[in-house]
């Protein structure tokens, strides 16, 4: 395979497996001027060999549409890749040891940044105390976000830079957290920021991700961070970046080049930090979380975005927060008409605690559910964090992907990276093998939601699928035998029978190796080639 394919060249890929609804048995594909020009059989491919600029021998590899990760924080992802990663720390002592090593290795950083601690998984369940962080860093500014990014622990030296923040010796949440996060990220230089963004996009490309939806906002990053990322992505060969700006000002979102005033526009917080907004109190706390917006504010924002021709969207995790979103969007529909609201394809990020009534409302209002199956893999189950926070009965109701699909709610899959890693096939596996069996969907449905679903979430129905006329965004994979999942209501069955007429996908049964990305192409340009290829 060549190292780079220019979008003006015509390329024939052959002798592989091409995942296309246009031909379930396709083994070849022609790409011309950045678009899919043809898919078909090996015999028919012979007719194209004299008219193309390059012939790529796939040697049996699988070609699929490139993935779209529908919820990413790109700079934070890059900083996690280049900074201190605590996601694997198994105890408080191990986390503090990593902080010491990191501080010693970065003597010139103005602020030390880390991410991913999860005290709920540690013996004793206690987060780091500020005095422990001061000792580990030698009294330098340090910001460590919890795995859900809705709370953080910090050193005294960082608090000294943010007047007015309460100095309680416990994780910071809400406004205090937003203030220290802003101070920490303000200390990152433009060069460090661009390095982190490049690292994140290169990593995404290496995983077969062709598009990321950047969920930015004034409480998450900064305007300079957002516009810098959009410029960087436009100027280099790499994954596409669709930007969302989480501010209640459609004019500002449009000014910054965002696709919508959406993404992490917080209606509530997160379950791990006890800030998701619930109808009934937490099982392990005597309150119901935090509400940032009410239904009237949601309705006003949805109406303003609809009038401006932009997508609106909200972060909503708890059942009370989801109820607030539904009530607000319904009020906007009563004001502007249901057809206009549905046509705008407004989004809800996470949407974890749903009821049959809110699922039906999502379908009625045309809301896209932008969901993260890895949350269930990480925090679900009888002994997981969800059960600790909510009790087993409520925890079993979370992330009902099958009910959403049965109701006709559009799904777009993502990672919320760096909350969970960029891992598209792992994400598909997590949806297909949900810890609660009744919430499982087929591998095919999950794969579609992680490819075509991401494009549909931004209003594009002509992409995310390998058919003539679609953008040439695809990935080439080394994988094992392809199978077709044929689930019934109780169990997932696998079939390799070609008479099904359904394109096969890798067997993602837990324990099996996931496909390895050999090449990623975006708009006809090769943006990643596996080094050994």
Task: Give the tens place of pLDDT for each residue, 8-20.
Answer: 789 999 999 999 9
Q: Is the pLDDT of residue 339 over 70?
A: yes
| Token pair recorded at residue 52 | 């193309």
The region of weakest confidence among 167-181, 241-255, 300-314 is 167-181
| More confident of the two residues 288 and 5 | 288
Among 300, 317, 310, residue whose Cα is nearest residue 149? 317
Mean of pLDDT values over 210-231 = 95
Q: Is the pLDDT of residue 491 over 50?
A: no
Q: How confident is residue 194, by pLDDT bands cut at 50, 70 and 90? A: very high
What is residue 181's predicted lDDT score, i.e. its pLDDT? 85
* Length of the chain, in residues: 533
Cβ atoms < 10 Å from Cβ of 478:
15
Q: Is the pLDDT of residue 3 over 60?
A: no
Mean of pLDDT values over 176-198 = 87
Q: Is the pLDDT of residue 495 over 70?
A: no
CB 422 within 8 A of CB 207: yes
- When the pLDDT of each residue in the chain is averaged and rounded to a whole number, the result is 92
What is residue 485's predicted lDDT score, i.e. its pLDDT? 57
314, β-bridge pairs: 348
| More confident of the two residues 499 and 478 | 478
**Angle separating helix axes 356-365 and 319-336, nearest 10 degrees:** 30
Alpha-helical regions (H) of 15-68: 42-45
Q: Is the pLDDT of residue 425 over 90?
A: yes
Q: Is the pLDDT of residue 2 over 50?
A: no
What is residue 123's predicted lDDT score, i.e. its pLDDT? 94
What is residue 88's predicted lDDT score, i.e. its pLDDT? 87
d(CA 186, CA 145): 15
Q: What's the pLDDT tens digit per position in 20-60?
A: 999 999 999 999 999 999 999 999 999 999 999 999 999 99
Q: Is the pLDDT of residue 5 over 50?
A: no
The region of weakest confidence among 62-71, 85-94, 348-357, 498-507 is 498-507
Q: What's the pLDDT tens digit per position in 433-489?
A: 999 999 999 999 999 999 999 999 999 999 999 999 999 999 999 999 898 754 444
DSSP class per residue in 220-263:
TS-HHHHHHHHHHHHHSSS-EEEEEE-SS-HHHHHHTT-SEE-S
Spacing of C-alpha 244 from chain mean position: 13
Among 447, 429, 455, residue whose Cα is nearest residue 503? 447
What is residue 176's predicted lDDT score, i.e. its pLDDT? 87
Question: Can you give the three-state secondary structure of 426-439, one letter per residue?
Answer: HHHHHHHCCCCHHH
d(CA 523, CA 18): 17
Q: Is the pLDDT of residue 219 over 90?
A: no
What is residue 533's predicted lDDT score, i.e. its pLDDT? 53
Residue 1 CA: distances (Å) to CA of 202, 441, 488 = 19, 35, 41
Q: What's the pLDDT tens digit per position in 292-328?
A: 999 999 999 999 999 999 999 999 999 999 999 999 9
What is residue 346's predicted lDDT score, i.e. its pLDDT? 98
522 phi/psi in degrees, rounded to 5: -125, 120
Distance spanning both ends of the chain, measured CA to CA: 7
Q: Give 432's contacts (C-beta < 8 A, 6+ positions apart).
A: 440, 441, 442, 443, 446, 485, 492, 508
Q: How confident is residue 1, by pLDDT bands cut at 50, 70 and 90? A: very low
pTM across the whole model: 0.89
């Amino acid at each position: 395979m060549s190292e780079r394919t220019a979008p003006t060249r015509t390329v024939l890929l052959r002798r592989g497996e091409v995942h296309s609804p246009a031909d379930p048995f396709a083994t070849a594909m022609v790409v011309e001027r950045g678009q899919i020009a043809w898919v078909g059989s090996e015999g028919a491919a012979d007719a194209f060999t004299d008219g193309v600029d390059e012939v790529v021998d796939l040697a049996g590899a699988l070609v699929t549409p490139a993935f779209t990760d529908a919820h990413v924080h790109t700079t934070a992802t890059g900083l996690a890749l280049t900074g201190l990663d605590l996601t694997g720390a198994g105890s408080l002592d191990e986390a503090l040891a990593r902080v010491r090593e990191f501080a010693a290795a970065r003597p010139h950083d103005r602020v030390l940044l880390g991410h991913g601690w999860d005290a709920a998984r540690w013996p004793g369940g206690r987060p780091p105390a500020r005095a422990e962080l001061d000792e580990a860093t030698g009294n330098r500014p340090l910001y460590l976000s919890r795995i859900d990014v809705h709370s953080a622990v910090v050193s005294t030296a960082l608090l000294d830079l943010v007047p007015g923040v309460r100095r309680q010796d416990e994780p910071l949440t809400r406004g205090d957290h937003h203030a220290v996060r802003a101070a920490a990220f303000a200390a990152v230089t433009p060069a460090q920021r661009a390095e982190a963004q490049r690292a994140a996009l290169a990593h995404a490309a290496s995983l077969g991700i062709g598009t990321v939806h950047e969920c930015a906002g004034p409480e998450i990053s900064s305007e300079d961070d957002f516009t810098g990322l959009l410029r960087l992505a436009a100027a280099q060969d790499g994954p596409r970046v669709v930007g969302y700006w989480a501010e209640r000002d459609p004019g500002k979102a449009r000014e910054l080049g965002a696709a919508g005033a959406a993404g992490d526009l917080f209606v509530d917080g997160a379950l791990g930090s006890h800030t998701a907004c619930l109808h009934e109190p937490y099982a392990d706390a005597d309150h119901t979380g935090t509400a940032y917006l009410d239904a009237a504010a949601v309705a006003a924002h949805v109406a303003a975005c609809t009038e401006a021709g932009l997508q609106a969207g909200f972060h909503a995790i708890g059942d009370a927060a989801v109820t607030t979103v539904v009530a607000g969007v319904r009020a906007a529909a009563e004001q502007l008409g249901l057809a206009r609201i549905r046509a705008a394809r407004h989004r809800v990020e996470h949407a974890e605690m749903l009821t049959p009534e809110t699922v039906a409302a999502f379908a009625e209002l045309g809301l896209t559910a932008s969901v993260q199956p890895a949350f269930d893999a990480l925090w679900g189950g009888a002994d997981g964090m969800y059960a600790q926070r909510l009790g087993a009965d409520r925890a079993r109701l979370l992330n009902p992907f099958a009910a959403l699909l049965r109701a006709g709610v559009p799904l777009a899959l993502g990672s919320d990276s760096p909350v969970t890693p960029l891992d598209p096939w792992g994400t598909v596996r997590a949806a297909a093998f949900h810890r609660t069996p009744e919430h499982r969907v087929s591998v095919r449905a999950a794969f579609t939601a992680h490819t075509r679903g991401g494009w549909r979430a931004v209003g594009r129905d002509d992409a995310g699928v390998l058919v003539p006329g679609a953008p040439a965004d695809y990935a080439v994979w080394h994988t094992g035998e392809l199978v077709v999942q044929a689930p019934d209501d109780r169990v997932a069955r696998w079939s390799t029978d070609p008479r099904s007429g359904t394109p096969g996908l890798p067997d993602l049964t837990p324990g099996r190796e996931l496909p390895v990305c050999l090449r990623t192409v975006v708009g006809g340009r090769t943006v990643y080639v596996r080094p050994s290829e």
